[in-house]
Amino acid sequence: MTDKVIIVKDTMQKGYRYTLSEPTGRNFDPRFKPDLTPKQMLALGVFGGQYMRDSKKEFPKDWFNRAKLLPSSVSGPDKKLNYFGVHASQSLAEWRRKGWIRDQDPRGWFQWYCRYYMGRRSEDDSRQIKRWRAMSRHISQIAKNCRSGDIFCRPKQRQAVLHWAYDARKI
């Protein structure tokens, strides 16, 4: 594979460059085994439909064919666009306050995952994979407290794990 350079031009990053050094959707760290692709997550409904509306040129067009996104003119998330119909995110300001945001991915974990899925590898991969793995505690709580097949038990927690590429419909 020949490395490909991506130049980002969206409202949060202008001129940021990164290199795709792995094939799309392949050669993941063995500790990182997401259930869902970014395309699947966007089609199911995540982040209230406001995430990545201005990033369509950076990622494959087909990711957005069935994505549940708000029009660019609408500000703020719409929980009705989330798969479980609930709001399950903290604000970007809160993410920044907690130190979860890095300059290379100013929108957080999902932006990192989209770029990682596309083939970018970076110095932040280990940290983000560690954060992804930590979501297993929420999966354990859902499994412990919900009857098998009751996908609407703990909807806020299920929506949150869906935001982390775990298929909360199968817990």
How confident is the model over 46-68, as pLDDT tens digits?
999 988 888 899 999 999 999 99
Residues 79 and 87 sit within 8 Å (Cβ to Cβ):
yes
pTM as predicted:
0.94
Cα–Cα dist 38/32, whole Å: 14
Cα–Cα dist 10/28, whole Å: 26
Residue 1 in this model has a pLDDT that exceeds 70: no
* Helix axis angle, 136-145 to 125-134, nearest 10°: 10
Residue 105 in this model has a pLDDT that exceeds 90: yes
Cα–Cα dist 20/46, whole Å: 25
How confident is the model over 80-96, as pLDDT tens digits?
999 999 999 888 889 88
Tokens at residue 54, please? 């201005």
How confident is the model over 145-169, as pLDDT tens digits?
999 889 989 999 999 999 999 999 9
Task: Go through 70-100 and write b for each residue having 16 or more CB atoms within 10 A of its CB, e for each that does not.
Answer: beeeeeebebebbbbebebbeeeeebeeeeb
C-alpha closest to that of 32 among 142, 136, 148, 123: 136
